[in-house]
A and B are shown apart, each in its own frame.
Chain A
Amino acid sequence: MEDVVLHYRPGSVAGLSSLLETTEKLLEAFPCRTPPVFTSWFPTSATDRLPIRPAKPAPVITSSANLLISDNNRLHTHTAAAKTCELQKTKDGVSERHDDCAGSETIRSPDEKTQKSKDALCISETPNHLLPLSAYNKPESRITRLSPEKQPQKDKDGFTATDCPVKRCWRVCTQRGVVLQSSQLLSKQFHHMVSIHSLHLRQRAKWVISEDNCGAANSIEEVWQTLSRSVRNTRLPTCNVNIQRERAEIWVFCDVLYSEQVGRFLKNELQLTGKISLSVHRLGNVFSM
């Protein structure tokens, strides 16, 4: 330790001694507490018992424009172009081997999940609960395939994309790749509505497309497929969409800021007929187009 020089005011001797005492205490090393050694309460090695786990693997969510289809115990991803893939049975059920050549259709088991950009588009599929239970609980050997870009193709059990029991009902679109447009593009009418209801521009709003709006499309499912493609191409800013098959409606959620732009897109690109209505939480319908 280096020398410590204490400057003090000359005075009583008692004052000096207490000052020295205080100084010595201050210069003492801080006590160090040794942290207790961490030990597991139930070390695995102590017991030979193996744990249990769900037989079903966790869902795979791809982060590219790949489609992901789940059929109870299996999940597959598809890319755009099609080539034949060899099916291979594994101990966990059915998983598929995929061609490594570029542009080929890729069907992957959960073990071969890929994960790309964090903020990329996420697509998944959930079961259509309206379908008969018997159709939904088909044996594991059936593989469902669904890709909007492709013509329906028969799988090994003869099921096509249109009659497969699993149908997409949920999509989300991130901001990436979306050309943002400013609120100046809001029409006067829309701007007036926003100010009347004191809506926040980042508040969520919902466009409802019903069967009456199908127009050029034959059915709500056809509209849904077209819309799904648009969402996957991130053409709809801040949108997530879902199909309400029970109601035969498609709900398109977006920020108020973009809702007019989204509404115009829906009307024009999907060639919808009639009026579609925009609703916000608590207020209900606030705008129609």
Chain B
Amino acid sequence: MTTITRQDLNFGQVVADILCEFLEVAIHLILYVREVYPSGIFQKRKKYNVPVQMSCHPELNQYIQDTLHCIKPLIEKNDAEKVVVVIMDKEHHPVERFVFEISQPPLLSISSDALLSHVEQLLRAFILKISVCDAVLNNNPPGCSFTVLVHTRDAATRNMEKVQVIKDFPWIVADEQEVHMQEPRLIPLKTMTSDIVKMQLYVEERAQKT
């Protein structure tokens, strides 16, 4: 068994690549499952060897890609502790929050090539949980939109420069009303522990959605 630090093999970049790829799939799937966008814009694809729904709308795809492109440096530096997909009602109050908690170990123990395939299996389980999460969630009101929040380990303002990687895709500090939800119902979906990353997904659902 070899022990590799975060600096070796550009470990942070590998983790960021894996997580951003996963988050892209997860965001598309959440938007489909929670009916934030019309199902007509989604197409069935295969990822992690399971069927997923991906948007085929160029503008939405670009928005998601830009968002994740900006988040990547934070994940790479292990500065992001939570990535939250917030579904908001017409009044921009959150009705659901899909919270991805991310924790990366300071040391990495790699034993074999099986490492990444093991991670893929774990990520697949997340995707499967998301695809059936509508069974445990209440319907959202019509006219919902979404946003992605990133909780950083340090003060947000210190990380602003890191996320401003796309010129015309600025980031701002979220409003209090976008973050806090009244009487949320907590629904744990999945937790994974691997050698390279630990991740936990849960949903906070507003008790009264309408």
A residues neighboring B (CB under 8 Å) = 38, 40-42, 44, 47, 49-61, 63, 70, 72, 110-115, 117-122, 124-126, 170, 172, 174
Minimum Cβ distance to chain B for residue A169 (Å) = 9
With a cutoff of 8 Å between Cβ atoms, the chain B residues found around residue A55 in the complex are 170-172
Complex interface: chain B residues within 8 A of A63 (CB):
38, 40
Tell whether, in the assembled complex, residue A59 and residue B143 are in contact, meaning their CB atoms are under 8 Å apart: no
- Is the Cβ of A114 less than 8 Å from the Cβ of B35? no
A55 to B169, CA, bound (A): 7
Residue of B nearest to A56 (CB): B169
Q: Indicate if the CB atoms of A49 and B155 lie closer than 8 Å.
A: yes
Which stretch of B46-54, B108-116, B146-154 is in the interface?
B146-154
Are A51 and B149 neighbours in the complex by a CB distance under 8 Å? yes
Q: Which of chain B's residues 133-180 have a Cβ closer than 8 Å to chain A?
A: 142-152, 154-156, 159-160, 163, 168-176, 178-180
B40 and A40 contacting across the interface, CB-CB below 8 Å: no
Nearest-CB residue, chain A, relative to B144: A115
Given that A60-B145, A126-B58, A170-B58 are contacting pairs, would A119 and B40 also be in contact in the complex, using a CB cutoff of 8 Å? yes
Asked if B120 is an interface residue, CB under 8 A from chain A, the answer is: no
Q: Give the size of the chain B interface in residues (CB under 8 angstroms).
A: 57
CB distance from B187 to the nearest CB of A (A): 9
Tell me if B67 counts as interface (CB < 8 A to partner A): yes
Point out which of A47, A54, A58, A112 has the most chain B C-beta atoms below 10 A from its C-beta.
A54
Q: How far is the CA of A221 from the CA of B49 in the complex (A)?
A: 42
Q: Give the distance to chain A from B64, nearest Cβ to Cβ, in Å.
A: 8
Are A122 and B40 neighbours in the complex by a CB distance under 8 Å?
Answer: yes
Q: Is the CB of A52 within 8 A of B173?
A: yes
B45 within 8 A of A: no
Chain A residues whose C-beta falls within 8 Å of the C-beta of B56 in the assembled complex:
172
Taking a contact as CB atoms under 8 Å apart, the answer to whether B40 and A54 are in contact is: no
* B151 CB contact (under 8 Å) in A38, A49, A126: A49
Q: Nearest chain-A residue to B178 (Cβ)? A: A53
Query: With A and B bound together, what is the CA distance between A119 and B41 in angstroms?
Result: 9
A-B contact pairs, 22 of them (CB 8 A): A40-B99, A41-B200, A42-B81, A49-B156, A50-B156, A50-B174, A51-B84, A51-B150, A52-B159, A53-B147, A53-B149, A53-B172, A54-B66, A58-B145, A63-B38, A111-B90, A115-B144, A119-B38, A122-B40, A122-B41, A126-B58, A172-B41
Residue of B nearest to A240 (CB): B56
Residue of A nearest to B101 (CB): A41
CB 8 Å contact bits of B22-63 with A (1 = contact, 0 = none): 000000000000010111110000000000000011111001
Q: Is B92 an interface residue (CB 8 A)?
A: yes
Q: Do B35 and A118 touch (CB < 8 A)?
A: yes
A52-B159, A114-B143 known; A42 vs B82 contact (CB < 8 Å): yes
Residue numbers in A under 8 Å from B151 (CB-CB): 42, 44, 47, 49, 51
Given contacts A70-B59, A122-B57, contact A38 B40 (CB under 8 A): no
- CA distance in complex: A59, B150 (Å): 19
Complex alpha-carbon distance, A125 and B92, angstroms: 24
Determine if A40 and B202 form an interchain contact, defined as CB atoms under 8 angstroms apart: yes
A172-B40 Cα distance, complex, nearest whole Å: 9
Contact B38 A115 (CB under 8 A): yes
Partner of A59, one of B40, B57, B92, B176: B57
